[in-house]
Amino acid sequence: MRLTLADGRREVLEAHRAGANGFATAVALTRIVDRAVETAMGTLSGQRRDAIAVMGLGGYGRAELFPGSDIDLMVLLDPGNPSEGKEAATALLHVLWDAGLNVGHSVRTVEEALAMHGTTLDAWTAMLEGRHLAGREDIAAALQQGQRNLVSRGIDRWFAEGVFAGIRSRQARFGYSVKLLEPNIKKSAGGLRDLHALFWLHRGSDARYFAPLDGTVPALKLFLDAVLEHGLLDQEQYAWSLQAVRFLFRVRHEMHIRREGQHDTLEYALQVAVAEGLGYGREAELRSVEVFMRDYYRHARTVHRLSAQLAESFREILEPAYRSRSTAIPAQGMFLRGPESLCIDHGIRRLGTATEVFEAFAHAAE
């Protein structure tokens, strides 16, 4: 299996070098691991296979693997035979570790997994991204039905507040601006985590976004498709957003290849190498780095704006300053002035003229 994994990765990285779409590379890397899990399951006895369901979590569950990504698994136990399930989980994990995969794992019953809701934010977030890989489908279905029941209740204050706290903490550490000289492509403002936070908020509070993940399309692509379908984006915004995410995927693939592992800070020396690897020009041509970073900032700005736009409805519910429409005083035209914020009439999707933009600044200043 170790040789098969190495050969598969080499083929994927060669396709990346030839210009493969960033989404295609992520899915191809995901499928390589999927096949390894299926092979490892095949080494277990039938009795052991029938005692567990194996779920991919996190980036692996989302079909968003990069060359240096960790593999996160959750093994769900048959509640009627937990001891057999635990032995099966141990055997499965040893096969994967022996193959050289860096696998993180948890072993739970469905009841224990659902108990993470309201208590352990990271675990619940990871399980929202869960994808059934192998083993008992009925056990995996029981977990996902339990999750859907919780999601169907609407916006979950515990979860949403936790996600926003995570956003604030992350940006305090990795930067609030998209124009950092050495940004973290995953965690700085405008990075992939901005989009993951949106994905979590919507998937964790609206059953329309809780569609099964099958590993053939990255979850962020499915999410953008869904927000377009439900009218939260227009076609132009959707096209820009899709282009931005594909770009960030390709950049992160190249970064991991260059650093031979999980490395997400785009420091200057790496900018030069990544620009060359993505076809911007020879390493000696400093102009190529300038063009590459200009493209990065443009796409990061698109992601950051999308994040602010789609998170707004959640902020309005959670934060007092955003809940002021009911007591707001009309200011002029579409604007309402609340005690701590400037609001816009519910029916307005976007400002239509430059005059309205400047009026918004004037009211905010007042």
Q: How confident is the model at residue 5 (pLDDT cuts 50, 70, 90)?
A: very high
Total length of the chain: 366
Is pLDDT at 321 greater than 50 in this prediction?
Answer: no
Is pLDDT at 351 greater than 90 in this prediction?
Answer: no
Is pLDDT at 320 greater than 80 in this prediction?
Answer: no
C-alpha R_g of the chain: 23
pLDDT on residue 205: 94
Q: Average pLDDT, whole number, for the chain? A: 91
Q: Which two tokens stand for residue 257?
A: 């290849």
pLDDT digits (tens, 9 = 90+) for 10-66: 999 999 999 999 999 999 999 999 999 999 999 999 999 999 999 999 999 999 999
Beta carbons within 8 Å of 244's beta carbon, 6+ residues apart: 298, 299, 300, 302, 303, 306
CA dihedral of residues 142, 144, 147, 149 (deg, nearest 10): -70
By CB atoms closer than 10 A (0-12, 13-18, 19+), residue 214 is: exposed
pLDDT on residue 199: 97
pLDDT on residue 317: 80
Is pLDDT at 337 greater than 90 in this prediction?
Answer: no
> DSSP per residue over 60-91, as a string?
HHTT---TT--EEEEEEEPTT-HHHHHHHHHH
pLDDT on residue 96: 97
pLDDT digits (tens, 9 = 90+) for 159-213: 999 999 999 999 999 988 999 999 999 999 999 999 999 999 999 999 999 999 9
Is pLDDT at 283 greater than 60 in this prediction?
Answer: no
What the chain holds in terms of domains, given with CATH numbers, is 2-151 (3.30.460.10), 157-318 (1.20.120.330), 325-365 (no CATH)
pLDDT on residue 2: 87
pLDDT on residue 75: 98
**Average pLDDT, integer, range 69-75:** 96
From edge to edge, which strands make up the β-sheet containing 342-344?
Answer: 329-332, 335-337, 342-344
Alpha helices in the chain (DSSP H): 2-17, 22-42, 46-49, 58-61, 82-98, 110-114, 121-128, 137-151, 157-174, 192-203, 219-229, 235-259, 268-277, 286-318, 354-365
Q: How confident is the model at residue 316 (pLDDT cuts 50, 70, 90)?
A: confident
